[in-house]
Amino acid sequence: MTTGAREHYLGQFAAHRAQLPGASLPGLQRGRDAAIERFAELGLPTTRHEDWKYTNVSALERRLFATFTDVAPDGAAEREVARHALDGMHRLVFVDGRHVPGLSRIASLPPGARVGSLAQLVATQSDIAEVLLAVESEPDANGFAALNTAFWSDGAYIDLAPGVVVDEPIHLLFLATRADLASFPRNVVRAATGSAATVVEQYAGVDDAVYLTNAVTRITAGEGARIAHTKLQQESGRSFHVADIRAAQAADSRLVSQSFAFGGQLARNDIATRFDAEGCDAKLVGLYVGSGRQHHDHHTCIDHARPRGTSRELYKGVLDDASRAVFNGRVIVRPDAQRTDAQQSNRNLLLSDSAEVDTKPQLEIWADDVKCAHGATVGQLDADQLHYLRARGLDAATARGLLIHAFAADVLRDITHPGLHARLATLLPGQLPEDMGKLRCELLPTS
Amino acid sequence: MLEIRNLHVTVDDKPILRGLDLAVKAGEVHAIMGPNGSGKSTLAHVLAGREGYVVTAGEILYRGRNLLELAPEERAREGVFLAFQYPVEIPGVANIYLLKAAVNAARKHRGEPELDAMDFLALVKAKLRLMEMDESLLYRAVNEGFSGGEKKRNEILQMAVLEPRLAILDETDSGLDIDALQVVAAGVNAMRSPERAMILVTHYQRLLDHVRPDRVHVLAHGRIALSGGPELALELEQRGYGWVEAKAAKAAEGAAGVPS
């Protein structure tokens, strides 16, 4: 019998435990030890778990990845950084899970804003690092999160003192350059009262390498804080990507979460936020684009634990060939959370008979004075619209491409940073099934 | 310009057009009138190449070519334009983008260079004034949130910009208030030219008060039951369609069993 994921990663942990960040810090090591024990208990999720019913990760029982590399990044990483860099942003680059200072660029930050490598922070200011690592660190919900807690090698920390506003977005770029490697990025955002920042978390891989990214991001937004988090997933076409993003919001805070899922053969995103006090606001937007045999899964959860919270959610999917997507949108309105206003929408465009989507709104409403609405659609391109465009002289392929693009580009509306908006607008046509290379995005309405 | 011979069309296996003949020459404006369900809109859709309309017999020649073998976009590029009865809303696609893509698709087809942004905008702005439309409509999504009148004007704007050889207006007058009707009529009249043919499909006489047709045809039971000059429209306005229909039904009875 071959070794499964459990035995493999337990062995990896035993072999590399001493090389992980904070090995000399008993508190941190206890956390890692507890996590690997939890992983030993949980193992990887199977389709018998309700939350993983439509996403089968059994391939990861057979395909086992190394968890450690000491090979320094080569020129390929530098070229990738040049390709993905965004002007006018702070940038932290991580290659195969490790921070590369030479490729990063943190311009002057306002006083009270601290941004950097979590591993480095552990090495230099372990007390602060331990506090940050405790952010939203309730027991890991599944084997992937537990693996991350046990193995995390590096990641970004963003620590904002009260009232600090970082105008330039902070671009976290995670590059995978090696096949057969698992990387475990861990990011922490702590935004104190009245602070604000925009974080772009991007994953990109080279060629068709098979690797695993298992990422965790924890966000805590203090009273009145405003955090915009844009996730951009462009992993290699054969990679596995599992990510868990969780936020907790204090009174009157605002979270904007955007998730663009383009790459990977199997990609799973858990995105959750919890309103811990009154008057919170969350906007969750997503776009997944699948072709070939790609599998995209988004599980979102908005926990209205306290009154007067507002949430808006829009997820869209474009699926071609035999690709498959899962959207599970959970909204909890606790008994206390009166005057909650929640809206959710999931719209899917299927471009092939073999494409498939499982969409499930999951509303759990325990309060009575609430406004909650949800809707899900799965459809094909509109024949009337196609005909109208063709009747004006556009060939069928252009008409299709234009309609697909219009459907997808809708989710770019809320991207306020001009540089990021321009990058996504440029990137989008190339991600879509029809060749939209000549499409003039600037002519599409943006409001 | 256009010659339709013995056209038979079915929709969902139901015969709608049953031996329609029509010839329209360059420079002429023809009105196709008739009661609801007589096949007026079917004719318009067949000319534009809409899927689901099956031609079971007959032929359509456009400038001597078999129109039916052309894809909808090829017809458009060859100069056939249909102003839709129900213009389609296309969220996310700016009006100006569609106009530009349409103009350049036709230019490319004719072997002409594409218009640059400046020339294109100048062209569109001139046509906007003709249609008394606000420039802001260019940057809104195609027909999205447009009022009924705005949609119809937008169709005529597209026609004015594309300058087709053969324009078919499918009930463009329906749902228009009198001001919008006059604007649309002015747009249509401005487009009349010796090189262009127009077919106005309409239920009512009122558009014909503003656009004087050369010929008026009455469609009943899937064929042209009656043709005449502009005075025929006035007669229909007074007498209704009943007497024409009765005549056509009688003719159809006589023709029953005779292979077409």
Reference A35, options A189, A118, A156, A142; nearest CA is A142
What are the structure tokens assigned to B7, written together? 């056209």
Q: Where are the domains of chain A?
A: 5-277, 384-447
Cross-chain CB nearest to A445 (options B82, B100, B139): B139
Q: How far apart are the first and last CA of chain A?
A: 58
Subunit contact A388:B109, Cβ cutoff 8 A: no
Cross-chain CB nearest to B51 (options A387, A395, A407): A387
Distances (CA, A) of A386 to A390, A417, A444, B4: 6, 33, 17, 26
Give A106 to chain B, closest Cα distance, Å.
Answer: 37
Mean pLDDT rounded to a whole number for chain A: 93
| Closest residue in chain B to residue A394, using alpha carbons only | B73
Cβ contacts below 8 Å, chain A against chain B, sum to 88
B51 Cβ under 8 Å from any chain A Cβ:
yes
DSSP state of B233: H
Subunit contact B77:A384, Cβ cutoff 8 A: no
pLDDT digits (tens, 9 = 90+) for A248-263: 999 999 999 999 999 9
Interface of chain A toward chain B, CB-CB under 8 angstroms: 382-385, 387-396, 398-399, 402-403, 405-407, 409-410, 440, 443-445
Query: Can you give the three-state secondary structure of A326-339, one letter per residue?
Result: EEEEEEEECCCCCC
Those residues with Cβ within 8 angstroms of residue A134's Cβ, 6 or more apart along the chain or in another chain: none
A187 in Cβ contact with A214 (< 8 Å): no
Residue A275 scores a pLDDT above 60: yes
Subunit contact A402:B88, Cβ cutoff 8 A: no
Subunit contact A393:B102, Cβ cutoff 8 A: yes
CA atoms within 13 A on the CB side of A384: 8
Residue A443 scores a pLDDT above 50: no
ipTM beyond cut 0.85: yes
Subunit contact B93:A393, Cβ cutoff 8 A: no
Query: Can you give the three-state secondary structure of B33-97, one letter per residue?
Result: ECCCCCCHHHHHHHHHCCCCEEEEEEEEEECCEEHHHCCHHHHHHCCEEEECCCCCCEEEEEHHH
Lowest mean pLDDT among A97-101, A268-272, B116-120: B116-120
Give A395 to chain B, closest Cα distance, Å.
Answer: 6
The helix/strand/coil state of A198 is: strand
Cross-chain CB nearest to A444 (options B75, B97, B162): B97
Over range A393-416, report the average pLDDT. Answer: 91
Cross-chain CB nearest to A384 (options B88, B101, B109): B88
B45 Cβ under 8 Å from any chain A Cβ:
no
Distances (CA, A) of A205 to A177, A200, A222, A233: 6, 16, 34, 9
Over range A42-71, report the average pLDDT. Answer: 93
| Closest residue in chain A to residue B50, using alpha carbons only | A387
Q: Is A124 exposed, middle or buried (0-12, 13-18, 19+ CB in 10 A)?
A: exposed
The helix/strand/coil state of A165 is: strand
Give A438 to chain B, closest Cα distance, Å.
Answer: 11
- B77 chain-A contacts, CB cut-off 8 A: 393
pLDDT digits (tens, 9 = 90+) for A343-353: 999 999 999 99
pLDDT bin (cut points 50, 70, 90) of residue A442 is very low
Residue A432 scores a pLDDT above 90: no
**pLDDT tens, per residue, chain B with 260 residues:** 999 999 999 999 999 999 999 999 999 999 999 888 889 999 999 999 999 999 999 999 999 999 999 999 999 999 999 999 999 999 999 999 999 999 999 999 999 999 888 899 999 999 998 888 889 989 999 999 998 888 999 999 999 999 999 999 999 888 888 888 888 899 889 999 999 999 999 888 888 889 999 999 999 889 998 999 988 888 888 888 888 888 777 776 765 544 44
Cα separation, A98 vs A184, in Å, equals 9
Q: What was the pLDDT predicted at A438? A: 53
Superfamily of domain B2-255: P-loop containing nucleotide triphosphate hydrolases (3.40.50.300)
Enclosing H/E stretch for A171 = strand A170-176
pLDDT bin (cut points 50, 70, 90) of residue A73 is confident
More confident residue, A224 or A432: A224
Subunit contact B162:A392, Cβ cutoff 8 A: yes
B247 Cβ under 8 Å from any chain A Cβ:
no
Subunit contact A383:B93, Cβ cutoff 8 A: no
Distances (CA, A) of A443 to A415, A433, B98, B101, B128: 17, 20, 10, 11, 18
CA atoms within 13 A on the CB side of A250: 15
pLDDT bin (cut points 50, 70, 90) of residue A436 is low
